Structure 1
Amino acid sequence: MTSGTQQHPEQGSTERRSAEERREQLIDAAVEVIAEHGLTRATTRAITDRAGLALGAFHYVFDSKDELLEAVIERVVREIDATLGATAETVEPAATRALEGPDLVVDVLERFLRGAWAYLEGTRTLQLAQYELTLHALREPEKHHLAVHQYDLLVGTLSGILRDLTDELAPDTSDELARFVVATVDGLLLQWLVDRDAAAASRRLDRYLTTLPAIVAAHIER
């Protein structure tokens, strides 16, 4: 005789799938609420309301708001990182271009940054949430590693792109150059989020790109 409470395998699979779907809904909603209203107003109630779920759904998939925020940070970083990786795939391989040395590095960086900036402009909500979450991680000592992790991931992605597409830089040089470029784009992005002037941001990016030969040369000659 079987127990009346025995769970059918398909039922367990459905419940797991439902939990995963709710988790993704809550993460999506959290990104939107944080970007629109800030972290302090991103209450569990506000997030579940945005997701169209009952408050109890939150505690069904997350033990705490901090656990949700960690998941959101991971999602934001992974999404940005994946998009930057996809942008790199659109950059023409070095073997098909008649360039070498610093000129090749500059060419790869310029093509990549133009593609990356187009993505950043199209994901303003996501970028706002990323800044909010970074500040949150910096204020909480036990979450500081999340802020470090996101920049290590972004720098690592760009550094790997430079090495894969140019074959001109040693690992330590590509890491330093990538970190410098990420820091600069971070500043350009924050200024655009503040003034919301896309045309001015585009002009600043163009001016920055004209400095790439000197920046690359400075890193190669270190």
Structure 2
Amino acid sequence: MTGSTRGPNDPRRRERILDAALDVIAEHGAIKVTFRKIADAAGVPLGSLTYYFDDMQHLLTDAFTRHAESVSTRYGALLEAARTPREAQEAVVEIICGKVWGTDHNLLLSYELYAFATRHPEVRTVMRSWMQASRDSLARHFDPLTARALDALIEGLSIHNSVDPRPTDRAEVAAIVDALVGPVHRRGRSRTTAR
């Protein structure tokens, strides 16, 4: 290994370990992750993992946090760009039907996060933070109850569409979002009036 990938000469080593951990989780599942698999995937000595992380729980929590923040950033950017109620609804449709997840790999990581969080209460804080960030982004344009419902719709349809032999298409998703948002929102509650 060269000096650029070792010790103090590698300032991004921690991030590379987290990225490698996410790759290993996607390939093997969170319950089958080991320090050795992550070290091999990251191309770092095994001892590097214990230098940065107290234990596997710490490493997985930080890896899942990295994943959640990455998806939340893309999700929030679409809603931040919306200027009208109609654009906000279109952003929700894009979150469901577009590339907010980035790749199937990221959607798979989300499944792993859900499953892992059900058995590891300390990781539930990652899920709760992610849900809150999503709802906060939606609340720029929608009342709190609608934001909560849209967040559940986004998660549910994204998961269903990834396994459904006939995924809900964009026009159908748009109709569902329109029905959920309802007439109160369509009367003009915009980003500027919501604040």
Report the TM-score when normalising by structure 2.
0.79
**Are the equivalent residues in 2 in contact too, given 1:137–1:143 (CA < 8 A)?**
yes
RMSD: 2.4
Where does the alignment leave 5 or more consecutive residues of structure 2 unmatched?
A: 1-6, 188-195
4+ residue runs of structure 1 moved beyond 6 angstroms?
Answer: none
User: Is residue 2:11 matched to residue 1:46?
Assistant: no
Deviation at 1:57, TM superposition (A): 1.4
User: Is residue 2:175 matched to residue 1:184?
Assistant: no
Matches within 5 A, 1:90-129: 90-91=81-82, 93-94=83-84, 105=85, 107-116=86-95, 117-120=97-100, 122-129=102-109
Deviations 1:74-99 (A, max 9, x none): 111211111112223443x33xxxxx
SS of 2:32's partner is coil
Deviation at 1:38, TM superposition (A): 0.8
Which residue does 1:131 correspond to in 2? 111
Identity of aligned residues (%): 27
Question: 1:37 is matched with which residue: 10, 18, 28?
Answer: 28
SS of 1:53's partner is coil
Deviations 1:117-173 (A, max 9, x none): 31246321112112212221221233332222221111112212x1xxxxxx5xxxx
d(CA) in 1 for partners of 2:56, 2:151 = 29
Which residue does 2:68 correspond to in 1? 77
d(CA) in 2 for partners of 1:193, 1:214 = 23
User: Is residue 2:50 matched to residue 1:59?
Assistant: yes
**Are the equivalent residues in 1 in contact too, given 2:89–2:178 (CA < 8 A)?**
no
SS of 1:201's partner is coil
**Are the equivalent residues in 2 in contact too, given 1:120–1:127 (CA < 8 A)?**
no
Deviation at 1:58, TM superposition (A): 0.9
Deviations 1:55-80 (A, max 9, x none): 11111211111111111121112111
- Compared CA separation, residues 115 and 216, structure 1 to 2 (3 A): closer
**Are the equivalent residues in 2 in contact too, given 1:73–1:146 (CA < 8 A)?**
yes
**Are the equivalent residues in 1 in contact too, given 2:39–2:46 (CA < 8 A)?**
yes
**Are the equivalent residues in 2 in contact too, given 1:39–1:132 (CA < 8 A)?**
yes
User: Is residue 2:191 matched to residue 1:211?
Assistant: no
Number of residues paired by the alignment?
179
User: Is residue 2:13 matched to residue 1:22?
Assistant: yes
